[in-house]
Amino acid sequence: MGTEGPNVPLLVSTKPDDHDNNFTYINKPSFLLKSTKWVLKFAMWLIFISWASFLFFAPLDSVNNVYSKVVNATNGTLFGLTGSIFLIYSGPVLVIAFLAIIYLRICGQEEIQEKVKKTASFRLWTFPVIVDGPFGVVTAAELIGILLFGVYIIWAVIAYTIKNISLLPLFEITDIRTRNLLLLELTGLRFGFIGLVCMAFLFLPVARGSILLRLIDIPFEHATRYHVWLGHLTMMLFTLHGLFYVIAWAIQGRLIEELTAWKSIGIANLPGVISLLAGLLMWVTSLPPVRRINFELFFYTHQLYVVFVVFLAMHVGDFVFTIVAAGIFLFMLDRFLRFFQSRKTVDILSAKCLPSGTVELVISKPEGLRYNALGWVFIQIRELSWLQWHPFSVSSSPLDGKHHLAVLIKVLGDWTEKLRGRISSVPGETDGLLQPNVTLKASVEGPYGHESPYHLTYENLILVAGGIGISPFIAILSDILQHIRDSKPCLPRNVLIVWAVKNSDELPLLHSLDLNSLCPYFSNTLNLEIQTYVTRESEPPLVCVLLPIHFIS
């Protein structure tokens, strides 16, 4: 069941071109500014490609010889052995991060170009090439990355195996059994090194406020899948690393002795065992069957990353640990900054329980918080739990008010049930409004999501939502209307919202958006159509069927 607008072709505007006259042109950046941005972008790409090429071709003797000469040349200097390895493996990532800060500072907020019509084109980052596979929906750029990592693993294993075989004569071992066991240990060593190379990328996608993710404009929630993929690959390599050593030691009859060894110089085995066990526990509990059944088990065991990293450093030593130091440093810096942001609390100005099982919270905006209509935040309410943080899309436009933001929360789990109970259990409560004598405070972390207001840069928008998924689209629509009202740069002319709900009692969610009060004459510039579909009711109440008609122009 649905409601439909006027009988016009889908997203074909019948409005006049006066829409363009509502905006003033933004001053174009100067030649110096453009040149600086180009130089910074070129430098970052050059550093990244050089660094990635070095990692890829490191198994070659020629590359390894150059690397050894550089390390030996600086061994007696201020840098020392550890500093040299750090500059080669981790230095480029930190340099890119530093240049990214300057680049983003120069760019500022993305400019909205009027008159520029976006056409359909092939884009590596967004074009899906696989929709039903083990990795889910994979874009062209993601597929290239997966293939490159796959080629690197195969190439590195083959190259290091050949190198290991060539090294055997240097040990002057004549016994075949001893030679095979040595080859087994050397192979395990190589798997460990390849795992460290993969781990150099592991922490980069999981830093929520990462400057590198902002640089390439990939939201944290999209980048977490890269962390998942890299986590599986890294733990598979580390498991093979440990397994090869365990097999070799068990055959030699010195398994317990080697596993409990903790040398003061060189590789310490016991910390490696502890690190691997922590990693395996995180790996097993992160698998989809376990995570879906018990998410809290996955969440809390994943905090063992501290044990995993600390004992890994003890296992390999400082000079080898520098290979992965940059990614871990950026992650810990992000975690440190988020910790201080999340310590501050703000007031929940109002709370309302809606008939559809949804809670609307209006929160005092934390000082310095800037977001756009595509943003979302993590929220903690200490009266409910000191440990639980939950992500919610912001349902209010940044232009709605300077001192507050709103979120819509669907009551689905224990935490949301407690929240609704805290609001609706007030004595004398009738409509679900938070009473003045009841105070709730919240901590807000974020915002996250796309920093660029993409919804303002397209002439035609099709927004498809299900249930509470309408929340960010309410913010988007409100933002568009307020940009039109205030004559700010805004390209959308045709907006179609397709909304599917299970029951008709969810339809009043759209009542939180009063279009006519936001922009009384929006129909002169915006062709808006909202189609609603109730999937589990054959004949819902008539009043609910008619509600969306007020939002169709």
In the beta sheet, which residues pair with residue 2? 533
Q: CA quadruple 452, 454, 455, 458: dihedral positive or negative?
A: positive
Neighbours of 483 (CB within 10 A): 24
Render pLDDT for 284-339 as a digit per residue (tens, 0 to 9): 999 988 888 888 888 889 999 999 999 999 998 887 888 999 999 999 998 888 88
From residue 379, how far is each of 222, 337, 363, 396, 502 by CA, in Å? 19, 16, 10, 15, 26
Which two structure tokens, joined as six digits, stand for 410?
Answer: 């669907």
In the beta sheet, which residues pair with residue 465? 499
Render pLDDT for 442-463 as a digit per residue (tens, 0 to 9): 888 878 877 777 788 888 888 8
Render pLDDT for 121-159 as a digit per residue (tens, 0 to 9): 557 777 788 877 777 888 888 899 999 999 999 999 999
Cα separation, 469 vs 408, in Å, equals: 9
Nearest to 516 by CA among 471, 470, 477: 477
More confident residue, 99 or 513: 99
Residue 416 has pLDDT above 70, yes or no: yes
Could you give the angle at which helices 325-342 and 91-107 cross, rounded to 10 degrees? 50
Name residues whose C-beta falls within 8 Å of residue 76's C-beta, 6 or more positions apart in sequence.
none
Contact 141, 518 (CB under 8 A): no
Average pLDDT score, the chain: 80
Residue 408's identity, in one-letter code, is L
Cα separation, 94 vs 100, in Å, equals: 10
Contact 19, 494 (CB under 8 A): no
Contact 221, 110 (CB under 8 A): no
Residue 310's identity, in one-letter code, is V
Three-class secondary structure of residue 347 per DSSP? strand
* End-to-end alpha carbon distance in the chain: 19
Angle, CA of 70, 86 and 73, to the nearest 5°: 20
pTM for this model (two decimals): 0.80
Residue 12 has pLDDT above 70, yes or no: no
Sole residue written with tokens 């922590």: 278
- Strands 494-501 and 460-466, by their bridges, are parallel
Ordered by start, the domain boundaries in the chain are 31-265, 344-551
From residue 35, how far is each of 47, 431, 553 by CA, in Å? 18, 59, 45
Structurally, at CATH architecture level, domain 344-551 sits in: Beta Barrel (2.40)
